[in-house]
Amino acid sequence: MSDPKGPIIVWFRRDLRLRDNPALYWACKSDHPVLPIYVWSPEEEAPWEPGGASKWWLHHSLAALKKDLQEDNLDLVIAKGPSLETLKRVVKETRAVGLFWNRLYDPATLARDTEVKTHFKDQGLNVRSFNGSLLYEPWEIETKEGNPYQVFTPFWKAVRMDLDPAEPLPKPRKGMAEGFEHPSIDIDDLELLPKIDWAGGIQEAWEPGEDGARKEFDKFQESRLEDYPEGRDFPAKQATSRMSPYLHFGEISPRTIWSKLLEEAPSDVLSKRGNSTGEFLRELAWREFAHHLLYHFPQTPENNLREKFKDFPWREDEAQLKQWQKGQTGYPIVDAGMRELWTTGYMHNRVRMIVASFLVKDLRIHWIEGARWFWDTLVDADLANNTLGWQWTAGCGADAAPYFRIFNPMKQGEKFDPGGEYVRKWVPEIASLPDAHLQAPWEASSQVLKEAGVELGEDYPEPMVDHSEEREKALEAFQKIK
């Protein structure tokens, strides 16, 4: 039985912030005390339980959220175990009157949340869920025929022309809600941090939490946004937003970003290509597109959207996969990206496309192997974005890259890292090579290699495959299923 004076439980998941948090805002607007809770139940997200880098981020994000809530007279209860059973126990012990949360849209959590909502509604609890992570619900945008979009350009047109996102909600006023005390375990008890401390580079590169998100976004808006349309393709430049992990963990909402960037922008900013604000908001809409696709095609994290790709002759080669994972392919721009990922939990988006193309087209190793590696090593690992990105590169997904688009790693390096700054940072063993040979060391003369102190096969690997030969093999394989 609930108590008329019982609390409203706010179930935090991937919405680890106070500002523009609908579940928290409306709970605090009620006349009831508020009990925030986080339940660690990774098995419920199988087969895509959070990876190692994500768990590191989650630990620090929960610590930041707990601190922020305490400043507002609320405390975050930490629990672990099956979500439904844990929430049943807490509802019973507190005699709660309500359960609020912000929605998730990936298949496993969607099914779990439906079960939780059905159970507690049947028990007479006030159960409310909200959109806290997207500009629009995935079902709100559809074609004229009432179908989901599978091509981004018309999807973007619908977003920018036909709909208007809700204004972000303010942070609940300090002291607005009475907190409700309940026993909690420590965040350390969740054992999210690695037992062997491999996260030093990630720690240096990031500040998880809502404050970290706001600082990073302010830096982007003040000093990097202007250069975004041109600079975002050059990995040595600081021109990207670095918002992806903060968006994934809900430390900043897309509505907040959308609203802040449009405050001072001209009215036609979304319809003209080339302006910095419009280009970045277009990328924010790409994130929406990813979630739109995942919601409507929940099979895609494991299966090709384009069914004909089931006949593609993927190769299985554990040794080559490990070379790719370790950044030992012999192709400098590829290796730089894979080492940046391992060290910082992040990889520049242009380089993500290069390394993904190399895996699925040069090596013809199944895209799902790349998706799994990114899932475990990226701090911004997001099921919707990860699935869309890998299927786009492989050519088997929505709005996919054409089969004949096979990135040449040498030309990509020359074009987007022309001064070699990115490669030299992450592949220091070849840093002394002149620019002319940095992206293809095997083409340098023995004298040039000797002067640079590089012995191929010893200091740095020979290319693991011949790109031109593998390109022809890939084209032949793709033609068979075209």
354-398: pLDDT as tens digits: 999 999 999 999 999 999 999 999 999 999 999 999 999 999 988
Integer Cα distance of 130 and 149 in angstroms: 23
Could you tell me the CA-to-CA distances from 217 to 166, 210, 228, 312, 402 in Å, in that order? 20, 11, 13, 41, 34
User: Is 80 exceeded by the pLDDT of residue 177?
Assistant: no
What number of H helices and E strands is found in the chain?
A: 21, 5
Please say whether the beta carbons of 127 and 37 come within 8 A. Answer: no
Going by pLDDT thresholds of 50, 70 and 90, the confidence category of residue 466 is very high
Quote the CA–CA distance of 425 and 262 in Å, as a whole number.
36
**Residue limits of CATH 3.40.50.620 in the chain:** 8-131
Instruction: Tell me where in the chain the CATH 1.10.579.10 domain(s) lie.
Output: 307-481
Contact 439, 414 (CB under 8 A): yes
Fold of 8-131: Rossmann fold (3.40.50)
Question: pLDDT at position 250, please?
Answer: 98
Of 124, 119, 103, 85, which Cα lies nearest the Cα of 4? 124
What secondary structure letter does DSSP report for 9? E
113-143 per-position pLDDT tens digit: 999 999 999 999 999 999 999 999 999 999 9
The CATH 1.25.40.80 portion of the chain extends over 134-169+209-297
C-alpha to C-alpha distance for 385 and 160, rounded to whole angstroms: 20
What gap in Å lies between CA 171 and CA 342, rounded to an integer? 35
Residue with tokens 């996969």: 321
Using 50, 70 and 90 to split pLDDT, how confident is the model at 322? very high
Phi/psi of residue 36, nearest 5 degrees: -75, 140
333 pLDDT exceeds 80? yes
Token output for 425: 């940072």
Residue type, 311: D
Closest CA to 361 of 406, 414, 402, 327: 406
CB atoms near residue 144 (< 10 Å) = 7
Task: Name the pTM for this structure.
Answer: 0.94
The set of catalytic residues is 283, 286, 314, 349, 367, 390
Point out which residues pair with 210 in neighbouring strands. Answer: none
Q: Phi-psi region for residue 257, left (φ > 0), alpha (ψ -120 to 50) or beta?
A: alpha
| Longest alpha-carbon distance in the chain | 84
- Tens digit of each residue's pLDDT (9 = 90 or more) over 13-43: 999 999 999 999 999 999 899 999 999 999 9
CATH number of 307-481: 1.10.579.10
Four-way CATH pick for 134-169+209-297: 1.25.40.80, 3.40.190.10, 3.40.50.2300, 1.10.3720.10: 1.25.40.80
How many Å apart are CA 308 and CA 245, to the nearest integer? 33
pLDDT of 87 higher than 80? yes
